[in-house]
Amino acid sequence: MKLKIVSIIVVLTTLLAACGGPSTSAPVASGLPVDAAAIAKDRGLTPDDVAAALKTYMPSGKTDPYIMFASGGQSGQVLVIAMPSMRILKVIGVFTPEPWQGYGFGGSGNKVLEGGKVNGKEVLWGDTHHPNLSETKGDYDGEFLFINDKANARVAVIDLRDFSTKQIIKNPNAINDHGGAFVTPNTEYVIEGPQYAAPIGWEYAPLDQYKEKYRGLITFWKFDRLKGRIDPDQSFQIELPPYWQDLCDAGKGPSDGWFFCNSFNTELATGGIELGNPPFEAGTTKNDTDYLHIFNWKKAEEIFKAGKGKKINGMAVIDLETAIKENILYFAPEPKSPHGSDVTPGGEFIVVGGKLDPHVTIYSFEKIQAAIKAGNLNKDTYGVPVIPLDKVMEAQVELGLGPLHTVFDDKGYAYTSLFLDSAVARWSLGGPYEKKHPEPGWKLVQKLPVQYNIGHITAAEGDTASPDGQFVVALNKWSIDRFANVGPLLPQNFQLVDINNTGDKMKVLYDMPIGMAEPHYAQIIKADKLKPFEVYPKVGWDAEKMAVDPNAVTDPKLAGVKRDGKNVTVNMVVVRSHFTPERVEVQKGDHVVWRLTSIEQQRDATHGFALSGYNINLSIEPGKTEVIEFDANQAGTFTYYCTEFCSALHLEMIGYFLVKP
Ligand code: K7E
Ligand code: CUA
């Protein structure tokens, strides 16, 4: 396959060269010429363009080798994108109702969304930042995906058997988060790191009591893999100083059991530009260093299990004093407005960027351990031991302006996003990685311009114990001149970068507009690690419980309407191209439980169910059962119909819902 592509490129480039390069002639009015070389010439494509097109082209009927899960930013959703063709396969409804999936319009998705209530109030959107795939031994296992909602401090669990959200959990003690959702190497915990400090439980406290009352709080959500749910009773939190903890990553290999978060605002700035105070942007950047937070989570787990956490709002919290006394928490200085905290594939080093520092700083886990053992550490204002930077720093590499996030490949290279430079920096890792690449140790190798203002960066399995290399995606915040003008709100731009060659040969292959929100992070998994259902395994499947609904009616002969006083039960069977029953009549004020089961078994034979006027809309995939419950409080004549064009007589797939006054 590879050889074939190479030979096609050779043929095309030879043809192009023979044509004397890009043509300036006008496009052929009657359509493009059919000959490949002539097309390239006509469109003015360079040999590099042609190679890029071939590398990303996926012929009809062929599927891509990689799948990217991207945060959907302030849409609250998750995007599923095939790579390298960059085709969007799916938008998964997570924090925001998603009508296409019937998510949040009466069916089981409503129960999931209810888990995300904040003090009893429905919050039907989220600001998703960091999707994280479940891991086994530090590698993606393709079973689950987690994502945080920065705006409301919530974490969601997505089951990759059916790519749907199963749980949203509200952090009872935090109102915003950021450094989540990051998993430990065997998905023991899903970690939700904090961001902007607030009193625990976000109770009111004036800002002049910031130092005493405001706190950071990191949450270790226990994940129960068998149940596919976070178990809050087995979860715990650690109280932190009110610095703004930011991006986090779990240790692995030698550093398994440890967890690392960068932070900023060790200045304890509280803003108030309107009062003559320095604005946050100045107040939080005064200090030359902030603190890398170093957690011994295995020790914290022991302390929690020994019952040494205090219950606050139902959640066990290890207070700061205990965390210090039990050697759970250490700091190490990080230069100028750090961002990002990324552990190398072998778990030996932690890479931290600096929004206002041209370097990445590399910390050695071994040196951290040695410094902790040696003891004699100074303490910060809150009594947390601080390891001096020169004791733990392995290297610093000057990359350029605004280094943020770092991912890795299989050749011993690291890739760091440079926000201010609008570039991807490829640099070589030293230590045990040195023999994998031609460069001598820690060194900048190439800066590839990207368009524009890159935030996160992601690589194929690039944050696991065994990265794949091949591709990097630059998640650019600005797209400016890359796409046709669609008005003042522009799409973001995902740029696919080829990293197959060593040295300074990285190339941008493809621009993909994301016109629905600003994604932050994304992860890329080998497609064959995912084993989703083709249809639900049994007819009558309850997708929320991932088991058969014992009340599902699967025989059309048993379908119908039953009444018990004011309670009406509708048992409906759904199959091409009719609902049974097709007439449902109730009295105004009746309480209706309506159970719908698709007895379809054929792949892709999905039906919809839209009930006019009652804000009900379901997606009923083959085998699925959905239950809706409502009071028939509007009298009148209503229709229900199928919203998926399921068959030639799809338009006939309707029924009448009559509510007698
Ligand atoms: Cu850098 Cu939320 Cu990970 Cu955005 S964060 S880019
Ligand atoms: Cu079922 Cu259309």
The whole-angstrom separation of Cα 338 and Cα 501 is 30
Phi-psi region of 469 (alpha: psi -120 to 50; beta: other; left: phi over 0): left
- pTM here? 0.95
Q: Is the CB of 170 under 6 A from ligand 1?
A: no
CB count, 10 Å around CB of 42?
18
Instruction: Flag residues of the chain having pLDDT under 70.
Output: 1-33
Res 31: pLDDT? 56
Cα 243-249-251 angle, rounded to 5 deg? 120
Q: Is the CB of 247 under 6 A from ligand 1?
A: yes
Q: Which residue, judged by its Cα, is nearest atom 1 of ligand 2?
A: 607
Q: Is the CB of 138 under 6 A from ligand 1?
A: no
Q: Which atom of ligand 2 is nearest to the CA of 647?
A: 2
Q: Is the CB of 181 under 6 A from ligand 1?
A: no
Res 3: pLDDT? 41
Ligand 1 centroid distance, CA of 449 (Å): 19
- On the CB side of 594, how many CA atoms lie within 13 Å of its CA? 27
Ligand 1 centroid distance, CA of 519 (Å): 9
Closest CA to 595 of 550, 633, 547, 650: 550
The whole-angstrom separation of Cα 147 and Cα 129 is 7
Res 598: pLDDT? 98
Q: Is the CB of 411 under 6 A from ligand 1?
A: no
Q: Is the CB of 178 under 6 A from ligand 1?
A: yes
From the CA of 71, the nearest ligand is 1
448 three-class SS: strand
Ligand 2 centroid distance, CA of 307 (Å): 55
Q: Is the peptide bond before 449 cis (omega within 30 degrees of 0)?
A: no
Q: Which atom of ligand 1 is nearest to the CA of 129?
A: 2
DSSP assignment of 20-76, as one string?
TSS--SPPPTTS--SSHHHHHHHHT--HHHHHHHHHH---TT---SEEEEEE-BTT-
Q: Which atom of ligand 2 is nearest to the CA of 645?
A: 2
Ligand 1 centroid distance, CA of 49 (Å): 31
Contact 628, 594 (CB under 8 A): yes
DSSP assignment of 500-532, as one string?
-SSSS--EEEEEEEEBTB----EEEEEGGG---
The whole-angstrom separation of Cα 144 and Cα 141 is 8
Q: Which residue, judged by its Cα, is nearest atom 5 of ligand 1?
A: 520
Res 17: pLDDT? 46
Cα 265-268-271 angle, rounded to 5 deg? 90
From the CA of 618, the nearest ligand is 2
Q: Which atom of ligand 2 is nearest to the CA of 642?
A: 2
Ligand 1 centroid distance, CA of 653 (Å): 46
Res 516: pLDDT? 95
Token readout for 298 is 């295995």
Ligand 1 centroid distance, CA of 182 (Å): 13
pLDDT tens for each residue of 308-324: 999 999 999 999 999 99
Res 513: pLDDT? 98
CA dihedral (531, 534, 536, 539) positive or negative:
negative
Q: Which atom of ligand 1 is nearest to the CA of 518?
A: 4
Res 343: pLDDT? 98
What does DSSP assign to residue 130?
Answer: -
DSSP assignment of 212-261, as one string?
HH-BEEEEEEEEETTTTEEEEEEEEEEEE-SSEEEEEEE--GGGTTEEEE
From the CA of 474, the nearest ligand is 1
From the CA of 261, the nearest ligand is 1
Ligand 2 centroid distance, CA of 97 (Å): 21
Q: Which residue, judged by its Cα, is nearest atom 6 of ligand 1?
A: 455
Ligand 2 centroid distance, CA of 436 (Å): 55
**Residue list, ligand 2 pocket, CB within 6 Å:** 577, 607, 642, 644-646, 650, 653
The whole-angstrom separation of Cα 128 and Cα 363 is 28
